Structure 1
Amino acid sequence: MLHPELILGGPVGNGTDSLPFLQELVSRLLHLHFRDCKTKVSGDALQLMAELLRIFVIEAAVRGVWQAQAENLDVVNVDQLEKVLPQLLLDF
């Protein structure tokens, strides 16, 4: 049986026990999509976006595990993530 902890490399819980997204990475990703290169992101907004992305990735991994278990598979691959992605995007 697959567990989300195996995919994410650690326990999945209240957010304090899993690895945070690097805020530098989130900032760079945001700035890649801004039309104006002078746009700035406040520290609070950056922290909020990093937390949202962290939750999204954990939820995608967990749903991928559930889909793989429903298909009696031992490994989660792109096919399982593709199957859960439409509902995941609607939920977010």
Structure 2
Amino acid sequence: MSPDRRNSSKAFASASGSSGPKNTKFKPPRPARRSPPPEEQQPLDASQVDPSPTIPAKLLSRILHEHFEDERTRISKDANAAVGRYIEVFVKEALARAVEERKKDGSSGGGAMRDSFLEVEDLEKVAPKLLLDF
């Protein structure tokens, strides 16, 4: 390239406000994701859907902070999630044990269960062993 041509291209670059050729690649927009038509959709099985409700993270955080000695104590989101999972397992186990205990009491009492609802007394019966197990 001749020196005159080099100078003219620099003059053009400085006049246009660019310092040289930019690497601008055209990126086409991504196509919108669409769900398959209903006839192609796979039905969900029980392992894909968790029907049990979870404890909201804000509620769990609030409960934990109520029992911290120092009000400046912090808990990370990961730790909050781990405690939440632990509490969910604890609650499910408490309910399962209370139902089993109630069935035993109902069958030994010579009749069916009183009704389909658990009472506080049902949970109180299983609480000592449950707390020792956890």
* TM-score over 0.5 for the pair: yes
Distance, in Å, in 2 between the alignment partners of 1:17 and 1:83 is 27
> Higher helix proportion, which one?
1
TM-score (ref. length: structure 1): 0.78
| 1:30 CA displacement | 0.5
Deviation per CA, 1:9-54, whole angstroms, max 9, x where unpaired?
Answer: xxxx8x9331111110010001011111111100110000111111
Runs of 4+ in 1 over 6 A off after TM superposition: none
1:24 matched to 2:58 = yes
| Pair member with larger Rg | 2
Q: 1:57 maps to which residue? A: 91
| TM-score, length-scaled by structure 2 | 0.55
For the residue of structure 2 that corresponds to 1:52, the secondary structure is helix
Give unpaired runs (5+ residues) of structure 2. Answer: 1-46, 107-112
Residues paired across the two proteins, number? 80
1:33 aligns to 2:77 (yes or no): no
Partner AA of 2:74 in structure 1: K
2:129 aligns with one of 61, 76, 87: 87
CA RMSD of aligned residues (A): 1.9
Amino-acid identity (%) = 39
Deviation of residue 67 (structure 1)? 0.8
